[in-house]
């Protein structure tokens, strides 16, 4: 054989998305000048090349070329050994071709992400959540889940065993949040919590969320029940104490006077019964007023009441005005910054809408707190703009403060415009001010 070739080293490793180099050494043992061409064989041929692509050697001389292994970062390319070979083809004496062989080890790529949906949940007894786990690596990942809150006011129902997510696939893990104690009546209470996704390789992933616990009994229900019971008792007393005896007495007197002047006697008794009934209605109206209810109108032979307009709700309190304020907080990387709104003296803010903004794509945490109690604490990297709406408003009384605090870990890089030097987050709070 006039041509010899070998790889140095014959085995190597590379991380997908990076490059590995293997030297191919050649020797021309013939007696003529020979030109060589190279071809990579095997599964690695699609992402490998030889530089230079051709080499000429004089008789009795040696040379070398470089094999470049560049596997793409693709979930379809699994981790593990990939055998390959290089065909060395002489141009003048093709029958003396040689094929040295080698192995390249594709290293594992860990690219796991997770997302909590929804970040804000609410309920009287419990709330449903779902964790989306996305594996963009080249090996299956087994993950376990846990949850906690600062005050230990919540319990978490999550899968007891690990969840396996294949390369290039996503897993959706259901869960449930339940408060340890019920709130029977009063204002809704927000609970900030954190879920942790722990993969078998790589760092754990923390997901922040908020559960708003609603009271079991709607506001004003207890007063309405007490007033209804009191009204029923008053009406029953009026019937058995006044109306029923009066009606029976009128009937008896009318029967006794049937022989002498039946018509006149019946008219007299009817007028007396009418006067007593009017007095009973006045007493019932007074009892209803004392119970805190609107007087019940007397029945009429031709109803004229107009039904309520569909969709009409209770009118806002006296002096209520629409409210909207934008709080913008900035901070340098590794620092905190905040912005605050204080409810004026003698006023009450009913917060119904909240819009969070992260226009730069910063990384870190933004915390929305009411008088020092955290309402929301989402991670900045999970959103650019996110809005929340509450059917039952969050009531913030006079002199209490709404605070937006940004904990900047890394300043973002917008697609256009100058590069910022600080994190910048904002919160648009809306509702009514009474």
Q: Which architecture does CATH list for 112-213?
A: Sandwich (2.60)
List the 54-57 sheet strands across, edge first.
Answer: 11-14, 101-106, 80-90, 34-42, 54-57
Which numeric CATH code is attached to 321-433?
Answer: 2.60.120.230
Does residue 266 register a pLDDT over 60?
no
Task: State the pLDDT at residue 269.
Answer: 64
The distance in angstroms from the start CA to the end CA of the chain is 98
**Phi, psi (degrees; rounded to nearest 5) at 343:** -70, 130
- Average pLDDT (234-256) is 70
d(CA 365, CA 222): 41
Q: What backbone torsions phi and psi does residue 164 show, to the nearest 5 degrees?
A: -100, 130
DSSP state of 377: -
Q: What is the pLDDT of residue 237?
A: 74
Q: Which of 406, 425, 222 is nearest to 326 (CA)?
A: 425
The percent of residues in the chain predicted with pLDDT above 90, rounded, is: 59
Q: What is the pLDDT of residue 286?
A: 58
Asked if 51 and 92 count as a contact pair (C-beta separation under 8 A), the reply is: no
- Mean pLDDT over each residue of the chain, to the nearest integer: 84
The residue-averaged pLDDT of 260-282 equals 59
How far is CA 154 from its chain centroid?
A: 17
How many CA atoms within 13 Å lie on the side-chain side of 97? 12
Residue 204, pLDDT score:
95
Closest among 151, 156, 159 to 192, alpha carbons compared: 151
Q: Which residue has the higher pLDDT, 64 or 308?
A: 64
Enter the DSSP assignment of 241.
I
pLDDT of residue 252: 66
The Cα angle at residue 342 between residues 218 and 340, in degrees rounded to 5: 110
Tokens of 130: 């779902």
pLDDT band at 259 (very low <50, low <70, confident <90, very high): very low
Please choose, from the candidates 343, 405, 396, 433, the residue with its C-alpha nearest in 3D space to the C-alpha of residue 188: 396
Question: pLDDT (tens digit, 9 = 90+) per residue, 188-223?
Answer: 999 999 999 999 988 999 999 999 999 987 766 556
Among residues of the chain, what percentage have pLDDT more than 70? 81
Q: What is the mean pLDDT of residues 145-165?
A: 93
Residue-level pLDDT at 303: 39
Task: Quote the pTM value.
Answer: 0.45
CB 51 within 8 A of CB 69: no
Q: Does domain 3-106 have CATH number 2.60.40.2310?
A: yes
């Amino acid at each position: 054989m006039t041509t010899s070739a070998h790889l140095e080293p014959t085995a190597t490793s590379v991380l997908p998305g990076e490059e590995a180099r293997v030297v191919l050494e050649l020797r021309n043992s013939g007696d003529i000048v020979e030109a060589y061409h190279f071809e990579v064989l095997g599964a690695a041929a699609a992402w490998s090349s030889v530089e230079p692509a051709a080499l000429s050697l004089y008789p009795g001389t040696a040379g070398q070329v470089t094999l470049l292994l560049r596997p793409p970062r693709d979930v379809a390319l699994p981790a593990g050994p990939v055998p390959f070979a290089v065909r060395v083809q002489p141009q003048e004496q093709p029958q003396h071709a040689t094929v040295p062989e080698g192995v390249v080890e594709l290293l594992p790529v860990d690219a796991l992400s997770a997302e909590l949906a929804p970040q804000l949940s609410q309920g009287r007894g419990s709330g449903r959540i779902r964790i989306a786990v996305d594996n963009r690596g080249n090996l299956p990942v087994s993950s376990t889940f846990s949850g906690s809150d600062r005050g230990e006011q919540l319990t978490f129902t999550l899968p007891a065993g690990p969840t396996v997510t294949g390369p290039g696939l996503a897993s959706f893990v259901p869960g449930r949040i339940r408060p340890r104690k019920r709130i029977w009546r009063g204002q809704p209470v927000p609970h900030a919590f954190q879920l942790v996704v722990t993969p078998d390789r790589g760092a754990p992933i923390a997901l922040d969320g908020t559960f708003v616990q609603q009271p079991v009994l709607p506001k004003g229900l207890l007063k309405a029940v007490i007033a209804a019971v009191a009204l029923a008792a008053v009406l029953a007393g009026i019937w058995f104490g006044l109306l029923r005896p009066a009606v029976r007495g009128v009937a008896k007197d009318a029967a006794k006077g049937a022989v002498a002047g039946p018509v006149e006697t019946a008219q007299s008794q009817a007028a007396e019964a009418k006067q007593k009934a009017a007095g009973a209605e006045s007493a019932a109206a007074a009892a209803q007023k004392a119970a805190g209810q609107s007087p019940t109108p007397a029945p009429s032979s031709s109803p004229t009441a107009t039904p309520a307009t569909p969709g009409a709700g209770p009118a806002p309190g006296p002096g209520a005005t629409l409210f909207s304020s934008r709080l913008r907080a900035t901070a340098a990387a590794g620092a905190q910054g905040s912005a605050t709104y204080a409810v004026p003296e003698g006023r009450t803010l009913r917060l119904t809408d909240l819009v969070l903004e992260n226009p730069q794509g910063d990384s870190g945490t933004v915390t929305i707190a009411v008088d020092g109690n955290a309402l929301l604490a989402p991670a900045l990297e999970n959103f650019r703009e996110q809005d929340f709406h509450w059917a039952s408003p969050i009531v913030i009384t006079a002199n209490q403060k709404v605070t937006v605090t940004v904990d900047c870990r890394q300043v973002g890089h917008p697609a256009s415009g100058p590069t910022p030097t600080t994190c910048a987050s904002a919160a648009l709070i809306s509702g009514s001010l009474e």
